[in-house]
A and B are shown apart, each in its own frame.
Chain A
Amino acid sequence: MNFDELKSTWNAESTQEVHIPTRIQQLRKAQHPLDKLKRNMKNEGYMQIVAIIFMAFAPQLFTIATNTYLIYYTSYAIVVIISIYYLNIFRHFYQRVCHYTNDTKDNLSEIYYEFKLNIERYHSFGFLLIPFLMVWTAVYTYSRLVEQGKDLSTIPDSNKQLFLIVILITSFFVPAAIVAWTRYFYTPYTKQVKAILDELKEDEL
């Protein structure tokens, strides 16, 4: 293989087919997988904000017993504080990981570790919502019982066990669903980046 000869052909190659826009406005929106992932995460962030606003009015919408408002809104306030903290971290992440100006190894490492960290943050954010979900279930169940002129002490033992099982299943299902969601949407990309990073490792002579 004569590389010198090939290099001269390479240097003389026509570049006519390359289209350079005359205005930046003509450029389309970034289609890079990383930009798409960031857009997905950003949209999920907006959905979380909508959910938080909705949750503020949930007691009125679902006619929850007024004597449970204090419990509900205390847990809701905790959710809001946690959400502000996490959504702020996510926002910083979108702003930071969007350039490709470092050397390749640094660039790939940054993408890989930032994404891994963000996925873990995503998990913990989801897990932190489970206690709120339990408070909501208890408050909602209690309100329905009160409507029927009953209270928690009137629930038969068999139903209490069923209630406990439902709580346990939910506690397992929600984290599993969050992990499955990130594994489906985000992990394949981090795996591909990791594979390329491994290709950069030192070769033995």
Chain B
Amino acid sequence: MNQLNEKLFLNHLEEHKGILHKVARMYMDNKEDREDLQQEIIVQLWKSYSKFKGDAAFSTWMYRVAINTAITYFKKDKRRSDRYTYDTNHEPLHEQYDTEKEKQLELFYLAVQDLNRIEKALVFYFMEGLSHRDTGVLLGITEGNVRVKLNRTKEKLQNIIKKLHHEF
């Protein structure tokens, strides 16, 4: 039974590993920290797996655990990613991008580093295509609060991009 559970869990994880990738990219600004966070989210997902009843979609349950883990995953020894500011020197965007769209996404991730943890969660759910209502349910706030906060966060993102001297 346990082996079956484990296999089912890992299959679910494989299917939804995009969530791990994106949450880690939103919350951590370097590769090493991203890998740490991905591993940590998997650990926490497995620890909580017995609480997954299957009456909700696995992805919805995974959003909740992944975001809650990322929000409270404070790095004590290193510079915290939510203290990242566009006034400091960013690592140069030295990678080669296949398309202009990929470059835009890279810039988006860079700008996101300057948001606070709740703003990152709002933007993540928005990018995943969740409605204001569903985002509110996952965050535990009202639909109206989501709308107001999300609009402000988008505005903030645009300002950050402008300060980075880039326009989408």
Contact = CB atoms under 8 A, between A and B. Distances in A.
Interface of A: 1-3, 5-10, 13, 15, 17-24, 27-34, 98-108, 111, 189, 192-193, 196, 199-200, 202-205
Nearest to A12: B101
Contacts, number: 156
Nearest to B139: A104
Given A30-B44, A105-B141, A196-B118, A23 B6 contact: yes
A2 B36 contact: no
B64 A1 contact: no
A-B pairs, top 7 by smallest CB distance, nearest first, are A105-B140, A103-B140, A100-B68, A199-B118, A9-B101, A1-B168, A18-B17
A101 B48 contact: yes
B124 to A, nearest CB: 10
A18 B44 contact: no
Given A20-B10, A27-B39, A33-B72, 5 more contacts: A1-B158, A7-B127, A22-B10, A32-B44, A196-B72
A8 B102 CA distance: 10
A2 B72 contact: no
B121 to A, nearest CB: 7
A100 B45 CA distance: 8
Nearest to A99: B48
Contact of A17 (B21, B46, B127, B138): B21
Contacts of B142: 202
Contact of B51 (A3, A23, A24, A99): A99
B152 interface: yes
B76 interface: yes
